[in-house]
Amino acid sequence: MSKLKVGIVNVTGYAGVELARLLSRHPQVKLSSITGRSAAGQKLADVFPHLAEIDMTISAELGEVDLAVSAMPHKSSAEVIVPLVERGVKVIDMSADFRLKDGEEYPKWYDFAHPAPKLLRQAVYGLPEIHRVEIAKANLVAIPGCYPTGALLALAPAVKEGIIHTDIIVDSKSGVSGAGRTLSLPTHYTEAVDNVRAYSVHGHRHLPEIVQERQAMTNASVSVTFLPHLVPMSRGILSSCYATLKQGVLGKKAEVVELYRNYYKAEPFVRVVDKPPETKQTWGSNLCLVYPVVDARSGKLIVISCIDNLVKGAAGQAIQNMNIMLGFSETEGLEALPVYP
C-alpha cells in the first residue's frame, strides 16, 4: 500500500522545520512537498544542514498532497488554507487562524478581519486529550497555541471534575524559539541572555484560547489571568497554574493526585509525575509532564506542566492530530524519548 502524501506550507520557520524532522521518520506517510517563499528553489539540506538526509527542494507552491500542514504566520495561513479546504484537502493549521470560534475576536487579538468566518465553525481545536472524537472526523484542525496546550492539560482534570472555582491564574515561562525565527530586538542574544522578562502583561493573544476551551469544558463563565515570560533558553514551556479548591476538597491531597492519574491513565503523551517537572525533561518529545499539588495553607490547587513548545506545543501535536485524522496509531512517528542534557 502506497504511503499518503503530506505537505508542509512554510518549512522554514522553527515549527515547520521541526515538522519536517519528525515527518521524515514517520512510517505511514511520505513528506512529498515543502514550501518556503524566502528559500524557494533551494535544497532543504542547504537551508537546514541537520536535515541533510531529506533530499527535497523547497518550492514556492504546494504540490498535490493528501494532507497539508500549514506553518505560516497568522493571517497568511488562512489565505493559504481556504483554497486547500475548498479542494477537499485535509488541513492542519499550526497558526492561530482557526483556533477561535468567534470571528469577532480576530481583530481584537490578531489585528485582522478573518477571511473565512464560516470555516471557524468547521475547524476542530486540536487538543487530542479533550477533542479526540471530533478530530477523527475533521477535515480542518487548528493546533492549539503552545501556552494553551500546557495550561489546558494542567487544568483539564480539575475543571472536568469540578473541584476548583472559576478564577484561575496561569503563569508561564517560554524559551526564545516561541517567538519564531523573525528577528526582533527582545530575542537578540544580548537582550535575552541572563534575563527574564514578562510581556503582554495587559493580555496575550493566547488568552482567548484558554478562556474558550476552559469554558467549553463546563459551559460556565470563567476568569483567567495569564502572564507569559521569556526566559533565556532555546525551547520549552513551564506553566504554573493556580486555582482555589472548592470546599471539601482541601483535605484530600492524595485523592486529587489520583484524580489526575485516572484522568490521564490512557493518554500516551501526558504523564502525571511525582515531583516538579523541568523543561529539559521534555526536549524533543511530544510529552506533557503534569504535577498537581494541594496547598492546604492557601486552599489552592497548584499544577505545574512542562512541554517542548516546538513538539507538543506545535509540530508533534500536529502529527498526533494527523495520526488521528488518518486512522493511524496515535503515537506513530512520535515515540522518541526526550533529549538530555
| Residues carrying an active site annotation | 146
Q: What are phi and psi of 227, to 5 degrees?
A: -130, 115
Exposure letters 167-193 (e unless 16+ CB within 10 A, then b): ebbbbbbbbbbbbeeeeeeebeeeebe
Is it true that the peptide bond before 276 is cis, omega within 30 degrees of 0? Answer: no
Q: Which residue, among 234, 213, 340, has the nearest Cα to 287 in the 3D structure? A: 340
Cα 203 to Cα 167, 207, 208, 240, 306, distances in angstroms: 16, 7, 9, 17, 22
Neighbours of 7 (CB within 10 A): 24
Beta bridge partners of 291: 304
Q: Which residues contact 185 (CB under 8 A, 6 or more apart)?
A: 191
Alpha carbons within 13 A on the beta-carbon side of 295: 14
The CA-based diameter of the chain, rounded to the nearest angstrom, is 64
